[in-house]
Amino acid sequence: MKQQNSQQAEDYYPSRNGQPSIFLERQDPVVYSTDKNNCPIEQEKIQQYQENGFIVLEDIFSQSDIEALQAESTFLRQNSKDKHSGEVILEPGSGEVRSIFKIHESSAVFKKLATDKRLASLAEYLLGDKVYIHQSRLNYKLGFRGKNFYWHSDFETWHVEDGMPRMRALSMSITLTENYSFNGPLMLIPGSHRSFVVCEGETPEEHFKSSLKNQEYGVPTDQSLTQLVEEGGIVTATSKPGSVIIFDCNVMHGSNSNITPFPRSNIFLVYNSMANQVVAPFCERSPRPEFICTREKIEPVIPVVSNFNNE
Ligand code: 6CS
Ligand code: FE
């Protein structure tokens, strides 16, 4: 059932087109590189990523790196609350800062992080290509006030609303605080990346104005989610600060609200293959703003060995 967008690009993953939810077979590889000799991490982790759709790498950043990243995160939050520019998303209700987008542009520290070889070279390996930053954000999920992110596949949104053609992108979530089992850690469904869950309903106008606070479209039906969980279970990506959770663009994930005193603040960097640049959205809506989806300024990342204690 091939469809097309306004640019007549072939839609391999039609969704939110008034059809009932079904599962479509993934039509793209998970790990694009086959060169086992030049792999930046142990092959066992690559196998896990291929099989489950995600991996957690501990102890990637030093204590001083983490402190520099935490300081920058706090600085951005304290200097953004009254900024009503689009990239600052406030929590519904409390008005606390929920997310800040496009931090790889607004912050020199996070710009450096996005090009850090420990991350960018691994993204190049997994995606088998040079990469660019499709989206970056800081999700603060503050104690008591941090609300949930309902179950979703990022790719379903990036395909339908941003025009990302194929599954050749991934997220790297760098943990800035303890991700405990109880303060709203990322929950992922192993193996869910192999099925594209077609979502029901139609994309509202300017959907991002509500979806970044509370997503109601581009989410699986209860039945689809139940089926994925029956097949793969649910894993919570608990880890200490300075870890990296790497997950495929299509893995089903979500996270609960945080009612504990402990913030769960993570940076998210989304790497997309240069061969998978966004085209026109696969829905009848205008493209989303640049702070959510890089479209105007697509430049390959040049991986650099770096640290964050200003040496
Ligand atoms: O719409 C998006 O691009 C964002 N929404 C979610 C829930 N995850 C990915 C991304 O941050
Ligand atoms: Fe997401």
Q: Could you give the residue ranges of the DSSP H alpha helices within 11-168?
A: 43-52, 63-78, 103-106, 108-115, 117-127, 154-162
User: Which tens digits make up the pLDDT trace of 83-98?
Assistant: 677 999 999 888 899 9
Residue nearest to atom 9 of ligand 1 (CA): 154
Distance CA 245, CA 264 (A): 13
Distance CA 113, CA 107 (A): 10
Instruction: Give just the sign of the alpha carbon dihedral 143, 146, 151, 157.
Output: negative
What pLDDT is attached to residue 5?
Answer: 85
What pLDDT is attached to residue 38?
Answer: 87
Closest CA to 44 of 55, 58, 60: 55
Burial-class residue 280 by CB neighbours within 10 Å (0-12, 13-18, 19+): middle
Local confidence band at 263 (pLDDT 50, 70, 90 cut-offs): very high
Residue nearest to atom 4 of ligand 1 (CA): 212
Closest CA to 219 of 196, 189, 199: 199
Domain 23-30+44-276 has CATH 3.40.50.720: no
User: Which tens digits make up the pLDDT trace of 194-205?
Assistant: 999 999 999 999
Distance CA 200, CA 140 (A): 29
Local confidence band at 115 (pLDDT 50, 70, 90 cut-offs): very high
Distance CA 252, CA 151 (A): 6
List CB contacts of 299: < 8 A, sequence separation 6 or more. Answer: 132
SS (H, E, C) 176-208: CCCECCCCCCEEECCCHHHEEECCCCCCCCCCH
CA distances from 56 to 169, 227, 231, 284 (A): 17, 24, 21, 37
Query: In this model, does residue 125 exceed pLDDT 90?
Result: yes
- Test site for ligand 1: of 98, 157, 206, 245, most ligand atoms within 8 A of the Cβ: 157
For residues 231-250, average pLDDT: 98
Ligand with the closest atom to the CA of 134:
1
What pLDDT is attached to residue 81?
Answer: 66
- Test site for ligand 1: of 101, 141, 150, 154, most ligand atoms within 8 A of the Cβ: 154
- Are 234 and 188 contacting, i.e. CB atoms less than 8 angstroms apart? yes
What pLDDT is attached to residue 308?
Answer: 81
Pairing of strands 244-248, 169-175: antiparallel
Query: In this model, does residue 311 exceed pLDDT 60?
Result: no
Distance CA 286, CA 307 (A): 39
> How far, in Å, from the CA of 37 to the mean position of ligand 1?
34
Residue 212, SS3? coil
Measured from CB, residues less than 6 Å from any atom of ligand 1 are 135, 137, 149, 152, 154, 157, 211, 215, 292
Residues of the chain with pLDDT > 70: what percent? 97
Ligand with the closest atom to the CA of 211:
1
Residue nearest to atom 7 of ligand 1 (CA): 149
Local confidence band at 310 (pLDDT 50, 70, 90 cut-offs): low
- Test site for ligand 1: of 101, 135, 171, 266, most ligand atoms within 8 A of the Cβ: 135
What pLDDT is attached to residue 150?
Answer: 97
Query: In this model, does residue 82 exceed pLDDT 80?
Result: no
Mean pLDDT of the chain: 95
| pTM, two decimal places | 0.96
